[in-house]
């Protein structure tokens, strides 16, 4: 990327709107302000103060009057105290598409280049305004659809993950310096007390790494959302439950078994967590040769089993008024396929307490946890089901902590760092530890930690990350 170019782009959404904000960043920003914006001296003399001024579609020509393109608010941000770390001007045009097009054309005629996807954020990173994990959080915050997504992105943007990584790296650098001092004097053997001290200093770092890595399970769900399948035999109440949780009639519900032939997916927010619910076709095993209709049904059944295997959690719907033997066999299969499963007896508004007790007793061997009783028709027990599902997905992370891994790249790099620290400890506890090998493993761990916050010269990694941003960021 050529950071000597001056770039510009709309940073608000495309289409007609009340305001269209155009951002200009780069070395020619002040000159462009003087050429295309009135009251430029006042604007440039007062950084961060919005000034009402005329905006023009062409530079001034001596002796000729110019007709303004628009009258609007203009704000100047002087380097390095701007989003990109460069001189920046933001022009709040009225939101008509003609005004945006005309002003962008005027900028391009003065040599300005249209910003690529993520280029403003990439310049902010390159100019030290934020580290790489914070830049990624900008994109996550823009894409957030739920409270959990917005919160984990905001926490990362505030630099809490960066601070945690710095706290992991600082003692490692001190230890590395001490070990390298031993390497400089090879005639001296490593004292046993030094080995114990080095191992002791690595133990809390390893514990913190393990804690952050454990947070990824829920952090990933906060960032990407959870996949949850509603599973059961035909006519077990899956479609009714989907409609109940959505609060609208999304799936067709009839008394005819097998009404749902294919999986239907819809999103809900569960305590701020995005959950993709799948109403799956009823799973039934049909021995022998299948009819044409049964072969079509079997395609839906295979898709249901795929959701059963790949979902983050499963809600198994049990209809105790139907044959329990095939449902018990399917429940056993579901438990083997998905570790996180909730068993709920459906249509409980039609059952008496004795029948419910008998069913729970019959299920105790297959499902020792508490069986929920729900009625989608009466909306009974569904609030408890929601709470149970959130607790199951969250695990030990009942509340979003101050530091949580939610990005696969971060998880991979921290895992590499942890493996290197484990290798260093193994070397130190060996019969003949070699300082050079221990130092190598610690340097490997530091390199992996640095990749999280972007202390890297790998342009391919940077291009891949920032290419996922939208234009204007």
> For the segment 415-444, what is each residue's pLDDT rounded down to a tens digit?
999 999 999 999 988 877 788 899 999 999
pLDDT of residue 421: 96
Q: Are residues 386 and 430 in the same domain?
A: no
In the chain, the percentage of residues whose pLDDT exceeds 90 is 41
Which domain range does residue 441 map to? Answer: 146-215+404-453
Residue ending a domain, among 82, 104, 131, is: 131
Give the range among 75-89, 374-388, 390-404 with minimum mean pLDDT. 390-404
pLDDT of residue 288: 54
**The CATH number of the domain where 386 resides is what?**
3.40.50.300
Q: Are residues 233 and 346 in the same domain?
A: yes
Strands of the sheet containing 70-77, edge to edge, are 51-55, 70-77, 88-95, 17-25, 7-10, 113-114
User: What angle is formed at CA 82 by the lines to CA 79 and CA 84, rounded to 5 degrees?
Assistant: 95
Q: Is residue 467 part of a domain?
A: no
**Distance from C-alpha of 396 to C-alpha of 269, rounded to nearest angstrom:** 20
**Distance from C-alpha of 359 to C-alpha of 349, rounded to nearest angstrom:** 15
Q: Are residues 432 and 286 in the same domain?
A: no
Q: Are residues 240 and 360 in the same domain?
A: yes
The helix or strand, by DSSP H or E, that contains position 143, with its residue range, turns out to be helix 132-143
Q: Is residue 276 part of a domain?
A: yes
Binning pLDDT at 50, 70 and 90, where does residue 370 land? confident
Is the per-residue pLDDT at 99 higher than 80? yes
Phi, psi (deg, nearest 5) at residue 227? -100, 120
Give the range among 33-42, 405-414, 459-468 with minimum mean pLDDT. 459-468
Is the per-residue pLDDT at 380 higher than 80? yes
C-beta of residue 283 within 8 angstroms of C-beta of residue 231:
yes
Q: Are residues 250 and 293 in the same domain?
A: yes
Q: Is residue 241 part of a domain?
A: yes
Q: Are residues 267 and 389 in the same domain?
A: yes
Q: Is residue 140 part of a domain?
A: no
**Distance from C-alpha of 400 to C-alpha of 176, rounded to nearest angstrom:** 34
Q: How many domains does the chain have?
A: 3
Output the average pLDDT for the chain: 86
pLDDT of residue 376: 87
**The CATH number of the domain where 417 resides is what?**
1.20.120.430
Q: Is residue 268 part of a domain?
A: yes
Binning pLDDT at 50, 70 and 90, where does residue 411 land? very high
Question: CA distances (Å), 46 to each of 7, 43, 425, in order?
Answer: 22, 5, 57
Long-range contacts of residues 352-361, Cβ cutoff 8 Å, at least 24 apart: 355/320, 356/320, 359/318, 359/320, 359/324
Both ends of the chain: CA-CA distance in Å? 15
Question: CA distances (Å), 204 to each of 172, 179, 423, 443, 452, in order?
Answer: 11, 18, 15, 18, 20
Q: In sequence order, what are the beta bridge partners of 75?
A: 90
Give the range among 32-41, 197-206, 391-400 with minimum mean pLDDT. 391-400
Token representation of residue 252: 């067709």
Taking only the tens place, the pLDDT of each residue in 272-313 is: 899 999 998 888 766 555 556 656 667 777 888 898 899 999
Radius of gyration of the chain from Cα atoms? 30
Q: Is residue 1 part of a domain?
A: no
Mean pLDDT of 146-174: 90
pTM of the model: 0.76
Binning pLDDT at 50, 70 and 90, where does residue 395 land? confident
pLDDT of residue 399: 45
Q: Is residue 399 part of a domain?
A: no
Long-range contacts of residues 206-209, Cβ cutoff 8 Å, at least 24 apart: 206/418, 206/421, 206/422, 206/425, 208/164, 208/167, 208/168, 209/168, 209/414, 209/417, 209/418, 209/421
Q: Are residues 412 and 383 in the same domain?
A: no
Question: CA distances (Å), 256 to each of 235, 237, 251, 260, 282, in order?
Answer: 7, 11, 14, 10, 12
**The CATH number of the domain where 32 resides is what?**
3.30.1360.120
**Distance from C-alpha of 30 to C-alpha of 95, rounded to nearest angstrom:** 24
Q: Are residues 108 and 26 in the same domain?
A: yes
Tokens 């291009």 locate to 463
The helix or strand, by DSSP H or E, that contains position 91, with its residue range, turns out to be strand 88-95
Taking only the tens place, the pLDDT of each residue in 224-268 is: 899 999 999 888 888 889 989 888 766 544 454 444 455 688 888
Mean pLDDT of 325-350: 89
Phi, psi (deg, nearest 5) at residue 104? -65, -35
DSSP, collapsed to helix, strand or coil, labels residue 273 as strand
Q: In sequence order, what are the beta bridge partners of 276?
A: 227, 267
Q: Are residues 305 and 364 in the same domain?
A: yes
| 182 vs 120, residue with greater confidence | 120
**Distance from C-alpha of 80 to C-alpha of 94, rounded to nearest angstrom:** 28
323 C-beta neighbours (distance < 10 Å), count: 9
Is the per-residue pLDDT at 112 higher than 70? yes
Taking only the tens place, the pLDDT of each residue in 184-205 is: 766 555 677 778 888 899 999 9
Mean pLDDT of 345-351: 87
**Distance from C-alpha of 253 to C-alpha of 240, rounded to nearest angstrom:** 6
Q: Are residues 236 and 346 in the same domain?
A: yes
Q: Are residues 185 and 208 in the same domain?
A: yes
114 C-beta neighbours (distance < 10 Å), count: 13
pLDDT of residue 229: 93
406 C-beta neighbours (distance < 10 Å), count: 26
Q: Is residue 2 part of a domain?
A: no
Give the range among 63-72, 102-111, 402-411, 459-468 with minimum mean pLDDT. 459-468
pLDDT of residue 247: 83
Q: In sequence order, what are the beta bridge partners of 227?
A: 276
In the chain, the percentage of residues whose pLDDT exceeds 70 is 87
Q: Are residues 280 and 380 in the same domain?
A: yes
């Amino acid at each position: 990327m050529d950071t000597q170019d001056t770039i510009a782009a709309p940073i608000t959404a495309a289409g007609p709107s009340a305001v269209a904000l155009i951002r200009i960043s780069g070395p020619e920003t002040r000159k462009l302000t003087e050429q295309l914006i009135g009251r430029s001296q006042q604007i440039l003399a007062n950084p961060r103060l919005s000034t009402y001024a005329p905006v023009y579609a062409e530079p001034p020509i001596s002796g000729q009057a110019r007709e303004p393109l628009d009258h609007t608010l203009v704000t100047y941000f002087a380097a390095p105290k701007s989003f990109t770390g460069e001189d920046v001007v933001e022009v709040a045009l009225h939101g008509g598409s003609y005004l945006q097009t005309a002003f962008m054309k005027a900028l391009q005629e003065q040599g300005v280049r249209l910003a690529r996807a993520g280029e403003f954020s990439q310049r902010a990173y390159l100019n030290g305004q934020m580290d790489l994990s914070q830049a990624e959080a900008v994109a996550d915050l823009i894409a957030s659809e739920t409270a959990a997504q917005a919160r984990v992105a905001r926490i990362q943007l505030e630099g809490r993950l960066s601070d945690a990584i710095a706290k992991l790296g600082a003692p490692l650098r001190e230890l590395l310096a001490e070990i390298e001092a031993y390497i400089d004097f090879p005639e001296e053997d490593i004292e046993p007390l030094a080995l114990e001290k080095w191992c002791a200093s690595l133990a809390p770092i390893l514990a913190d790494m393990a804690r952050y890595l454990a947070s990824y399970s829920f952090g990933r769900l906060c960032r990407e959302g959870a996949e949850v399948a509603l599973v059961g035999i035909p006519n077990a109440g899956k479609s009714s439950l989907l409609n109940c949780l959505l609060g609208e009639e999304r799936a067709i519900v009839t008394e005819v078994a097998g009404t749902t032939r294919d999986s239907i997916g819809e999103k809900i927010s569960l305590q701020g967590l995005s959950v993709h619910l799948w109403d799956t076709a009823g799973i039934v095993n049909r021995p022998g040769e299948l009819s044409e209709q049964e072969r079509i049904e079997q395609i839906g059944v295979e898709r249901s089993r795929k959701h059963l295997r790949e979902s983050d959690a499963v809600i198994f719907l049990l209809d105790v008024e139907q044959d329990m033997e095939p449902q018990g066999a399917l429940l056993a299969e579901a438990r083997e396929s998905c570790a996180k499963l909730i068993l709920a007896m459906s249509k409980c508004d039609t059952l008496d307490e004795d029948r419910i007790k008998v069913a729970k007793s019959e299920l105790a061997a297959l499902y020792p946890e508490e069986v929920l009783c729900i009625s989608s028709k009466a909306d009974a027990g569904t609030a408890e089901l929601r709470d149970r599902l959130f607790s199951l997905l969250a695990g030990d992370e009942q509340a979003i902590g101050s530091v949580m891994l939610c990005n696969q790249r971060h998880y991979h790099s921290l895992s590499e760092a942890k493996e290197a620290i484990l290798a260093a400890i193994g070397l130190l506890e060996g019969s003949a530890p070699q300082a050079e090998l221990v130092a190598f493993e610690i340097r490997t761990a530091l390199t992996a930690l640095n990749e999280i916050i972007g202390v890297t010269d790998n342009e391919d990694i940077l291009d891949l990350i920032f290419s996922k941003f939208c234009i204007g960021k």
